[in-house]
Structure 1
Amino acid sequence: MADVKVAVKILSELKSFVMQVASQEVVLDCFRRSNRDFTRNRKLPFDRLVLLIAKLCKKTLSIELEQFFKELGLENGCSVSAFTQQRIKLKASFFHWWNQVLWQSYYHYSGESTKRWKGLRVIAVDGSNISLLNTPALTKHFGGQSNSHGNFTQAKTFYYYDVLNELVLYPRIEPYRYGEVQMAYEGISQLSADMLVIYDRYFCSYKMFALHLWAEQPIPFIIRGNENQRMVKEFITSGKRSEIVQLAPTCPAIASLKKSGFIITPKTLLEVRLIRVELEKTVEVLVTNLTEANGYSDDQFKELYFLRWGVETNISVQKNIMQLESFSGLTVESVEQDFYATVFMANLHSVLIKDAQSTVNQLSKHKKYPMKVNRNKSFGKLKTSLVSLFIEHQPEQILLILHGHFIRDTLPVRKNRTFARIRKNKPGRSKHRTYSNYKPAC
């Protein structure tokens, strides 16, 4: 069980990071509001607080606290007020960096078993809106939108998602009016040359091409062409399967790149490749800097672009299974903590089910459909074991028990199924919503 050994090493790295932050004043200062925070002996010191938030409190807080301290083996817990006061001291950025420790440890310890496409990590990019309660503090910070029915407070989230290894690398949460394209521009500096980044049509622009091509090391990309763009219309009309084209910048592109530190003229041309993809009812165009001369043939791109759907699935898991939009607090800090903690738990869950998925693949070889681990049930089992995984010195036994649960709860994978999208009744005003496609397991 190689993946169990990897999981043990990753858990060790995560524990070490927490202890390092809690024990070193200089490091702790990066994640607390004041140098007086987390200095007194409280029932919720730094290490317990971050573990409790990572547990994703979705029930009444008093019940969550009672259960948490029971799992720690302590009879006396703390009040909801004490928890609220403690979490104010913690910056949400801790969970952002804890998540980086997680996925960097996974790449390091999994080594050659890390999944790649022709040596490249396939990174899908997408954003989403999340609904918040209409409190003055949240509305002031995040904003939202309004219509004839009222005002709606919302935030904008953004993800870089490794679709083959199922890991969110660089999550962000920003005010609702903060554009996804702007976040994509700002995120390019974090990318590396061993990543193949896949974007939807919304990101198709001269500036996006330029920032990838002009990086210190060019970053491979695939962007779905916008059917309203002239180059896309002309290419579809030509009937060609693939073509190398030279693109000149528009005036807005010149001005925008100038703000990013690039001085260009209307004669600054970019060379990209256009690829025709025939679908059942339409024709799509993909824009890329991967050339046929380097071994990337036309017939590879349809399936490759389809991998981008993985980021949509991950967002769905966070919202529907992990109940992302059910926040444990009503402040900006608590919303940001819960968001980054949810991404952290999504990645930890993904890492811990990999060994079980390998076992399921072997067991389902002769079945009609390939099988996969049931994410809803497996996440419920992970939540109930999370505290034990972090407080036990040797978590191998807990991981083996979880492995047994994971391989028993599986679902068939039926590929190439499509369904017409049916608009259902608009949601009511109740605090909780019932979805037809899942039932909470925790």
Structure 2
Amino acid sequence: MSGCRFGPEHVRSGDIPSVHDARHVDHPTAFSRSRKLPLATLVTLMLTGMRMRMSVQAELDTFFGHLRQQAQLVHEVSEQAFAQARAKLSLTAIPRLNDWLIARAEQDRFVPRWHGLRLVAADASTMRFGLRASHVKRAALADQILFGLFLPGPDLMLAASLHNVHECGERQFLFEHLDRLSPDDLLLLDRGYVCRWLVAVLNDRAIKFCMRVDNASGFTCVRTFMRSGAIEQVVMLPAPNKRDALDYECSNKPQRVRLVRNTSPSGEQRVLMTNLFDDKLFSANCFAELYHKRWGIEEAFKRLKHRLSLEHVTGLTQQAVAQDVAAKIVCDNLQALVALTAHADADLPETRRVNHAYAHTALKPLLPTLLLGAKIGRKVAALLRNLLDLIAGRTYQHRQNLSKPRNPGQKPHKNMSQKNC
């Protein structure tokens, strides 16, 4: 399952994936002839977030209706033709497009810095895809884990990967993505990631981090710190064991870290572990707000699952599932950038926030024309300007430090026993 990882390790700004890069290795001549569903149209179709409310055929007919700016459905491509075309699309094509999109967002300064550092949150979420029993080759498993690296400021998913639920765990998934990070990044982690070898790896690679640790984490120094009542303290973590140090090629020496006490709005005492030792630049008081920014990735998973129906897929193979996940991540990133642009162009105050649910609804029918309009002679700039004005007019009042605790019980996953229609 790990072979369905998204994206290359590095991408150059402005390096848009070519037709050659988009071809599946089993189809080296794909997309070379003129078809009803050429490469650009196929990718644009998938980026609209298919299978959110309709069947695959209804999504196809709606897409071509939107492309021709008609109210009625247009039946131009069959569901079987779409399945054949998407089978020829490389698994890395859409993730490379997302890499290019993130690079452009960085270039255009959509990604802010916190004390000069780019914040990156890491987490994973369990997926249950709506799949029926089949005999197709390389069929996907219904239960998988989606791991992601997320930029909390602009609400952009940096990278993602699908994994078998029986794989090694979230720490291993993070380790496989560490090449995406640089010394200018600050990694935000929940309490499930704390372990000796991961701290050693992050220190060896000069990756800055802030992770939550529990009193029951197994570290004596953390329990002693909790009993001491101190606000912060620099301690030494025990060295990783020899096997972990060999497996992950990290130092087997004790690791120096800083512990900071934090009190949640509900009064819960938390301990944050970091390798940011400069107490003048990074005072103990700033870590509460910093750790709270990690919550953006939790909201991103919820948004992808429920607003974009991430668990409703358009195919039964693992390739189709991976493509759908990658496409909906790009779709969500596009919506985030459109909302940011609308907010900035309208010069809205910080207390007003764009309604992202409305932005998603407004963007979907125009996305085919916005992405393909240059080829069909449409006035894309005017359409985009009207869209931004429309989105900027739908805002809500943002209240700081508003707490909405999770309700205990079963998560509200949609019933996957029937197709959407």
Short-chain TM bin: 0.7 to 0.9
Q: 1 CA distance for matches of 2:402 and 2:188? A: 23
Which residue identity lines up with residue 143 of structure 2 in the other structure?
Q
| 1:133-180 deviation line (CA, Å, top 9, x unaligned) | 25357998665xxxxxxxxx3111111111112211111112222321
Q: 1 or 2, which has the higher helix percentage?
A: 1
Q: Give the superposition deviation at 1:262.
A: 3.5
Q: Which residue of 2 aligns with 1:119?
A: 116
Q: Residues 339 and 391 of structure 2 are in contact (CA less than 8 Å); yes or no, is this contact kept in structure 1?
A: yes
Q: Give the superposition deviation at 1:28.
A: 4.3
Q: Which residue of 2 aligns with 1:185?
A: 175
Q: Which residue of 2 aligns with 1:84?
A: 83
Q: Give the superposition deviation at 1:234.
A: 1.2
May I ask how many residue pairs the two structures share in their alignment? Answer: 393
Q: Provide the TM-score with structure 1 as the length reference.
A: 0.81
Which ranges of structure 1 fall in alignment gaps of 5 or more residues? Answer: 1-12, 144-152, 434-439
- Aligned CA distance change for structure 1 residues 139 and 271 (closer, same or farther; 3 Å): farther
Q: Residues 361 and 371 of structure 1 are in contact (CA less than 8 Å); yes or no, is this contact kept in structure 2?
A: no
Which residue identity lines up with residue 59 of structure 2 in the other structure?
E
| 1:81-135 deviation line (CA, Å, top 9, x unaligned) | 111111111123211110000010111123xx64111111111111101111253
Which ranges of structure 2 fall in alignment gaps of 5 or more residues? Answer: 1-12
| 1:207-230 deviation line (CA, Å, top 9, x unaligned) | 111111101xx1110010132122
- Aligned CA distance change for structure 1 residues 138 and 116 (closer, same or farther; 3 Å): farther
Which residue identity lines up with residue 49 of structure 2 in the other structure?
L
Q: Which residue of 2 aligns with 1:70?
A: 65
Q: 1 CA distance for matches of 2:250 and 2:296? A: 33
Q: Provide the TM-score with structure 2 as the length reference.
A: 0.85
Q: Which residue of 1 aligns with 2:194?
A: 204
Q: Percent identity?
A: 26
Q: Which residue of 1 aligns with 2:390?
A: 405
Q: Give the superposition deviation at 1:189.
A: 2.1
Q: 2 CA distance for matches of 1:329 and 1:388? A: 25
Q: Which residue of 2 aligns with 1:37?
A: 30
Q: Which residue of 1 aligns with 2:212?
A: 224
Q: 1 CA distance for matches of 2:399 and 2:133? A: 43
- Matching residue within 295, 319, 327 for 2:313: 327
For 1:17, what is the secondary structure of its paired residue?
coil
Q: 2 CA distance for matches of 1:343 and 1:428? A: 19
Q: Which residue of 1 aligns with 2:381?
A: 396
Q: Residues 204 and 226 of structure 1 are in contact (CA less than 8 Å); yes or no, is this contact kept in structure 2?
A: no
Which residue identity lines up with residue 360 of structure 2 in the other structure?
F
Q: Give the superposition deviation at 1:425.
A: 7.3
Q: Residues 318 and 342 of structure 1 are in contact (CA less than 8 Å); yes or no, is this contact kept in structure 2?
A: yes
Q: Residues 112 and 154 of structure 2 are in contact (CA less than 8 Å); yes or no, is this contact kept in structure 1?
A: yes
Q: 2 CA distance for matches of 1:241 and 1:428? A: 40
Q: How is 1:18-417 mapped onto 2 (pairs within 5 angstroms)?
A: 21-22=18-19, 25=20, 27-29=21-23, 31-58=24-51, 59-73=54-68, 77-110=76-109, 114-132=111-129, 133-135=131-133, 143=141, 153-178=142-167, 179-215=169-205, 218-228=206-216, 229=218, 230-251=220-241, 254-262=242-250, 264=252, 268-279=253-264, 280-293=266-279, 295-358=281-344, 362=348, 370-393=351-374, 395-417=380-402
Deviates more, 1:293-302 or 1:312-321: 293-302
Q: 2 CA distance for matches of 1:407 and 1:173? A: 35
Q: Residues 238 and 254 of structure 2 are in contact (CA less than 8 Å); yes or no, is this contact kept in structure 1?
A: yes
Q: Give the superposition deviation at 1:289.
A: 0.5
